[in-house]
Structure 1
Amino acid sequence: MSVDNTVTAKTEDVATVEYSAPSFGIHTFVATICDIDVQFQIFKMDGSLLIWIGSLAEPTFQDLTLAMKTRYDALPLTTKLLGEGVDMVSSNLASKLVKKLGKPVYVSFNLPMDKIILPGIEQRLTEEIQLYPDKFD
């Protein structure tokens, strides 16, 4: 008794695979602000951005806010997805970026709140947007 393990396929059953360009990009840069090495990671997704800001020495992910425009109000809608609700740094930054970039923005701000360092972080991020607009569009 013999067993036939042959499998035949019809030509119309063959699938074709089409490759497409990736729709997800990552851009990373570091800036020293007030003697702190701050790392910025930009995750460019299809139709939105995630901007992670944290310590180069001790990276964490303990905060996340989403901001987006709505047709009902001139101010962007912001919502805290992760972290303490009393910390408004990521909400304020995400709101500013939505106005500037015109797309939904997630911001994860993972540094201690410091009124001295915050303007430097915003300035460096604005410079990067001007230098590399394709990383943010």
Structure 2
Amino acid sequence: AVVGIPSVLAAWAYASWIGKRIFVDVPQDMVEAAAEAKEAVAAEQRAAGVTPHEKPVPLLTVLAIIGTPLVLILAATFSSIALDPSTLRSVVEFFGNPFVALTIALFLAYYLLGIRRGWSRKSLESVSTSSLKPV
């Protein structure tokens, strides 16, 4: 706390100062990949006769997607301290494994941001594939 809080404040002050002086454009290949993904989803939705939902995603939905892996990983960390070796501890540690927790969050995002908002599995595949092109 003695070092952490001043470090955070100094980093925040520096970031706000330097942020006004430096501007970096988004790489063109990422812009093109985003445009391709958006067009592919729009074409898929037009072909299926689905109207796209353009309204913003609720804040609680976003927080649930972001918070799910954090809660799972923290539960696994604390279970190793608080629980005796048991089946419950093994299950909590399995779901708290970062790879498993992030995979669960990914499927949750697919459902909450895609399927529940009217996207087909083909559209989700197209967006996922396009998002990995720049990588």
TM-score range relative to shorter protein:
0.3 to 0.5
Name the one with the larger strand percent: 1
Q: Please report the TM-score for the alignment, with normalisation by the length of structure 2.
A: 0.34
Q: Please report the TM-score for the alignment, with normalisation by the length of structure 1.
A: 0.34
Q: Is the radius of gyration larger for structure 1 or structure 2?
A: 1
Choose between structure 1 and 2 for higher RCO, CA contacts under 8 A separated by at least 6 residues: 2
Name the one with the larger helix percent: 2
